[in-house]
Amino acid sequence: MRRLFEGGLVALGLLAASAAAQEIYQEKSLYRNIVVVEEQGLRCMKFGRQEGRQTCLSLQDPQVMPLAYTKMLLGALYLKPDPARILIVGLGGGTMPSALRKLLPQARIDIVEIDPSVVKVARQFFGFSTDSNSAVVIEDGRVFAKRAQKQGRKYDLVMLDAFDHVYVPEHMLTREFLLEVRSLLEKDGVLAANTFSSSRLYDAESATYASVFGPFYNLKMNNRVILARNDGLPPLAEIKANAQRLEPGLGVFGTGQDQLLPLFSTAVQWPAGTRILSDQYSPANLLNRSEKQPERKGLW
C-alpha cells in the first residue's frame, strides 16, 4: 500500500511539473521540431517534446549556467586558458559562444549550425548575438570541417556540441571525422566534445576518440565531456594552475575549480579491443534510437 501511495505521489509530481511547464514557442524546421518552454525558473530549448533539453537559460540570472554539460565544456579552458581562435560545432541556444565572448573578448569565434531556425530561436529567446569577431555559418559540421581543412584553417579550441533529436549525428562520431577535426587544431590545440555519460555507444565512442587523440580527460555527470589536446594531455598540476587563474571568470557562470577539478579523470573505462567507429561502421543512431535521453536535462 505504501508503495502505491508513493507511486501516486511521484505521478502527481510529474503531472504538476508538466502542468507548470509553459510552451512559449514551437517551430517545425527542415531538420527538427524546435520547442521552447519555461519551467522551474528556466527557459529551455528542446528538439521535440522529449525530456532532453538542448539549452537552458536561468530567467533569474541569465549568466549562470543551469546545465552541467555547459560548465564541463568550460573545463576546456583548463587545458588552453587563452585560445585566440575558437570553433564551435552546434549552436543550441548559444550558451557557449556567449560565455566565451565574455571570458575572451579578443578571441575569434566561428560557430557552425546546420539549422537556420535554431539560430533564429537562439537570437529571439536566449540572447545570442554575434559581433565583428564572431560569425555563424549555416552548414553541416562535417562539411565545414572538410572545407576548413582544405583551406588550411587552424583553431586553438574546437568544441563539438552537435545533436539532433536522437544523439550526435553518426557521421560526426567516426574516426575519419575526428581526424579531420584534429587537422584543424594548432599544435597545442584543444578538443572538447559533449556526449552522453550513459549510452550503448559509450565504449565504441571512447575507443574512437582514444584512437585519434590518445589519452583524454573524461568529465562525467549527466553528460560526458571529452577533453583532449593535440600534443598530449597537460599534467594535473598545469590543469590546477590554470583553474586557479580562471576562477574569477568562471565564477560568473556558476562554476569553478571546486566543481570541475574532481571530474577530471583519465581512467580507461572501455574494454580492450573495442571496435572503433568509422565511416563504414557507425551504427550510432540505430543504437541510440530506443534509448531514453535524460542526459541533457542534468542540472548542477
Global pTM value: 0.88
Please state, in angstroms and rounded to a whole number, the distance separating the CA atoms of residues 244 and 78: 9
126-147, pLDDT tens digit by residue?
999 999 999 999 999 999 999 9
Which domains, ranges and CATH numbers included, belong to the chain? Answer: 68-297 (3.40.50.150)
Q: What is the mean pLDDT of residues 245-249?
A: 97
Catalytic site residue 161? yes
Query: Measuring CA to CA, which residue among 196, 202, 251, 247 is closest to residue 220?
Result: 196
Query: Measuring CA to CA, which residue among 95, 93, 132, 104 is closest to residue 253?
Result: 95
For residue 55, is pLDDT > 80?
A: yes
26-35: burial string, b at 16+ Cβ within 10 Å, e else:
eeeeeebebb
Q: Which of 4-13, 116-125, 238-247 has the lowest mean pLDDT?
A: 4-13
Residue whose grid cell is 536566449: 126
Pure H helices in the chain:
2-20, 68-74, 95-103, 116-125, 141-151, 175-183, 202-213, 236-251, 257-260, 284-288
Q: Which of 81-90, 132-141, 191-200, 224-233 has the lowest mean pLDDT?
A: 191-200
**What's residue 8's pLDDT?**
42
Indicate the residue type of 171: H
For residue 58, is pLDDT > 80?
A: yes
Q: Which of 82, 161, 188, 231 is catalytic?
A: 161
Please state, in angstroms and rounded to a whole number, the distance separating the CA atoms of residues 16 and 13: 5
70-104, pLDDT tens digit by residue?
999 999 999 999 999 999 999 999 999 999 999 99
